[in-house]
């Protein structure tokens, strides 16, 4: 049984705790929280479930002193210094907030892995899944690849994180404020890693990566998790990253985040296909995959439990046994075996 610590209890963190509890090879032994209000509470009380016998703490030293094999590191914004301390304490780290495709600039964290004899692995859904791993897996069915596209279409009214929507993502502000928000920089840090993973693995020539950010504003009041978005304020955003060889796009990653499809200018819509993830490969033969199920069926369901958040957490948690078995260092999805989920306990084979 591998002993796991959950670091931060936002949406992904809470879903990760649920995933750890249902995984037959994992045991939750600790939980780090940022707020004094949560510190000292049983983790079950934070989740609104029965008590689990694990007390959350805001004492980093106490977490680092725990006998644990892995940490699911899921704050809103990563802190490399924190990650280095966790690694040097001898704990593997799995995270959805960075390090999907390491580079030379990650040398200090690579050394921290070696110092602690452990592994750092970035994984998730977008990045860390549909934007890199999944297109590469699908490309195995093709030759002569000329173009790869991974794109998300999501209704942000199902994302119950008002402070993030407002202060980080720039929704509800003026277009000028949204363009100056930290969101583009935060997103680029992850999605450019996805682009580079696809470029390098598929063997494309050296490419220029171009970034674009488009906005739509409300034309009438729009209800959202952060309150009413007033006319003239940002109610939809599209971010796109294009890798271009010469003048030819070869890899494209895009996210389309709308506060619904009504009362927007420009009049953006998801189209008849609705919310979805798409993966497209132009090659011999072409491949086109639509992924459904990672977006809720309704706004109300999404506010209660968002499948995309759950999928992100599950991908992290399911990778823990593979990460703990890996050699020390920063490992991308290309360095690990195929990560798989586990059967429902009612259907699982007896453990020997």
Domain ranges of the chain: 2-125+310-347, 133-293
Q: CATH class for domain 133-293?
A: alpha beta
Q: How large is the average pLDDT for residues 311-324?
A: 98
- Total residue count of the chain as it appears in this document: 352
Q: How large is the average pLDDT for residues 291-316?
A: 95
pLDDT > 70? residue 352: no
Helix (H) or strand (E) holding 45: helix 43-47
24-35 residue pLDDT tens: 999 999 999 999
For the segment(s) 2-125+310-347, the CATH number from 3.40.50.720, 3.40.50.1240, 1.20.1260.10, 3.40.1360.10 is 3.40.50.720
pLDDT > 90? residue 302: yes
Q: Are residues 179 and 240 in contact, defined by beta-carbon separation less than 8 angstroms? A: no
Does the pTM exceed 0.75? yes
* Per-residue model confidence (pLDDT) at position 181: 87
* Per-residue model confidence (pLDDT) at position 171: 96
Instruction: Reduce the DSSP state of residue 323 to 3 states and report it.
Output: helix
Distance in angstroms (rounded) separating the CA atoms of residues 305 and 291: 18
Q: How large is the average pLDDT for residues 308-325?
A: 98
Distance in angstroms (rounded) separating the CA atoms of residues 228 and 172: 8
108-161 residue pLDDT tens: 999 999 999 999 999 999 999 999 999 999 999 999 999 999 999 999 999 988
Single out the residue of 129, 97, 168, 102 nearest to residue 253, CA to CA. Answer: 129
207-262 residue pLDDT tens: 999 999 999 999 999 999 999 999 999 999 999 999 999 999 999 999 999 999 99
16-67 residue pLDDT tens: 999 999 999 999 999 999 999 999 999 999 999 999 999 999 999 999 999 9
Tokens 């016998």 identify what position? Answer: 53
* Per-residue model confidence (pLDDT) at position 1: 95
pLDDT band at 350 (very low <50, low <70, confident <90, very high): confident
Single out the residue of 174, 150, 175 nearest to residue 249, CA to CA. Answer: 150
Dihedral sign of CA atoms 74, 75, 76, 81 in order: negative
Q: How large is the average pLDDT for residues 269-274?
A: 96
């Amino acid at each position: 049984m591998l002993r796991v610590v959950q670091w931060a209890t936002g949406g992904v963190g809470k879903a990760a705790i649920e995933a750890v509890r249902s995984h037959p090879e994992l045991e939750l032994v600790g939980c780090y929280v940022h707020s004094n209000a949560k510190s000292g509470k049983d983790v079950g009380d934070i989740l609104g479930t029965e008590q689990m016998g694990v007390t959350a703490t805001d004492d980093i030293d106490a977490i680092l002193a725990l006998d644990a094999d892995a940490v699911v590191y899921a704050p809103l914004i990563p802190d490399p210094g924190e990650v280095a301390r966790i690694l040097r304490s001898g704990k593997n780290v799995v995270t959805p907030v960075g390090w999907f495709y390491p580079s030379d600039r990650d040398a200090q964290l690579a050394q921290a892995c070696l110092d602690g004899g452990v592994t750092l692995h970035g994984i998730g859904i977008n990045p860390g899944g549909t934007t890199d791993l999944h297109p590469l897996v699908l490309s195995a069915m093709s030759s002569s690849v000329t173009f790869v596209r991974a794109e998300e279409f999501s209704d942000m009214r199902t994302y119950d994180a008002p402070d993030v929507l407002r202060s980080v993502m720039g929704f509800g502000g003026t277009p000028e404020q949204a363009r100056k928000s930290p969101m583009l920089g935060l997103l680029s840090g992850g999605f450019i890693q996805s682009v580079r993973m696809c470029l390098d693995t598929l063997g494309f020539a050296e490419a220029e990566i171009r970034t674009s950010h488009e906005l739509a504003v409300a034309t009438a009041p729009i209800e959202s998790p952060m309150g009413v978005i007033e006319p003239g304020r940002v109610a939809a955003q599209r971010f796109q990253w294009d890798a271009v060889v010469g003048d030819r796009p070869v890899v494209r990653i895009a996210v389309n985040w709308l506060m619904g499809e009504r009362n927007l200018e420009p009049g953006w819509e998801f189209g008849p296909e609705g919310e979805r993830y798409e993966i497209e490969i132009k090659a011999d033969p072409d491949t086109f995959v639509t992924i459904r199920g990672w977006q809720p069926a309704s706004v109300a369901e999404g506010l209660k439990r968002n499948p995309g958040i759950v999928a992100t957490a599950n991908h992290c948690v399911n990778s823990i046994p593979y990460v703990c078995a890996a050699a020390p260092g920063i490992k991308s999805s290309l360095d690990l075996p195929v990560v798989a989920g586990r059967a429902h306990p009612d259907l699982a084979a007896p453990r020997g």
